Amino acid sequence: MTQTHARWTMANFWRHNVFFLWHPVMALILILLFSFYLRLTGRRHHHATGYSASFLQQAYFTLALLMFYLAMGSPIRLAAEHYLFSAHMLQYALLTMVIPPLFLLGLPEALLARVWHHGTWSRLLAGVTNPVVAILLFNIVFAGFNYPPLLDVSLLSGWLYILESYVVLILAITMWWPILAPLPLKGFTPSDSWDQDHIELGMVSRIYQLMYIFFNFALMMLVWFYIIDTHVAFYSFYVHAPRLLSLTPLADQQLGVVILEAFMGLGFVVAFVASYSRYDDSHWYD
């Protein structure tokens, strides 16, 4: 009975209007954004703009846009908003663990450094990307938005759920900033040229990057550990949602946590290994 109902729901799922399934307007916006990025950083124009992106950076930025479309423009979004907690967790895993690092790695170092030293933006970024502020703000808001009563309310309103998704993405970028965003080295002055000699990746030292990654992973794990270890489905919206897959609400909830933790583990392990590989302990012998 459950499998028959799931097949019927799945058939109806793919009969949704193309605008609900694939969001072509969003695809067009992302194409225009990519065109602007190439015009700003491409080889033909970088002499005029001063922001040159390498082939690898362009690949990172392209992947960031594709992953954003996958999270917010593909059928994953429809499944997350109306059917599956696991789809919601896949969407949030992309928004927090995949898109932000790809986005930051895809921007030219000189561009981010220029934004960092741009008046009001500088003060705002310095505040929200402070390592302590960034890690606490992201984890508190992320956990709050996924608190069962609050998530149920946002899913029922629709627009609130979308707003929260963009807030989570922005805070995830600030969370990744301390270990991925390039900043000028000490002694840099705004009159200096914005070249690789004055820029270093990461706003905190390597040892603090390792500690930052570890504590961020630990905080996120603590929030989700109780969900996967429970025998109760917390999210009433998804409990009463049509069964898109032949999963019970509890199995769907646990699968969602597994998906998020898998992305967390992969993302933070890669960041930890990359940071550790650049770690220089020669100062211990000075």
Max CA-CA distance within the chain? 71
Predicted confidence band of residue 144 (pLDDT cuts 50, 70, 90):
very high
pTM of the predicted protein model: 0.89
Check pLDDT > 90 for residue 133: yes
What is the predicted pLDDT for the residue at 48?
52
CB 165 within 8 A of CB 93: no
Check pLDDT > 90 for residue 221: no
Predicted confidence band of residue 278 (pLDDT cuts 50, 70, 90):
low
Check pLDDT > 60 for residue 114: yes
What is the predicted pLDDT for the residue at 151?
96
Distance CA 98, CA 263 (A): 8
pLDDT one-digit tens code per residue, 259-268: 999 999 999 9
Domain count, the chain: 1
What is the predicted pLDDT for the residue at 122?
77
Contacts of 261 (CB under 8 A, 6+ apart): 221, 224, 228
From first CA to last CA, the distance across the chain in angstroms is: 71
Distance of CA 184 to the CA centre of its chain: 24
Query: Which domain does 256 fall in, by range?
Result: 2-285
Q: CA torsion sign, 45 to 49 to 53 to 59?
A: negative
Predicted confidence band of residue 185 (pLDDT cuts 50, 70, 90):
very low
The stretches of the chain forming alpha helices (DSSP H) are 2-13, 18-21, 24-41, 46-49, 55-72, 75-82, 85-93, 99-106, 109-116, 119-128, 131-145, 148-157, 159-180, 206-228, 236-239, 249-277
pLDDT one-digit tens code per residue, 231-244: 889 999 999 999 89
Check pLDDT > 70 for residue 188: no
Instruction: Over range 135-149, report the average pLDDT.
Output: 94
Distance CA 201, CA 105 (A): 10
180 by Cβ neighbours in 10 Å (0-12 / 13-18 / 19+) ranks as: buried
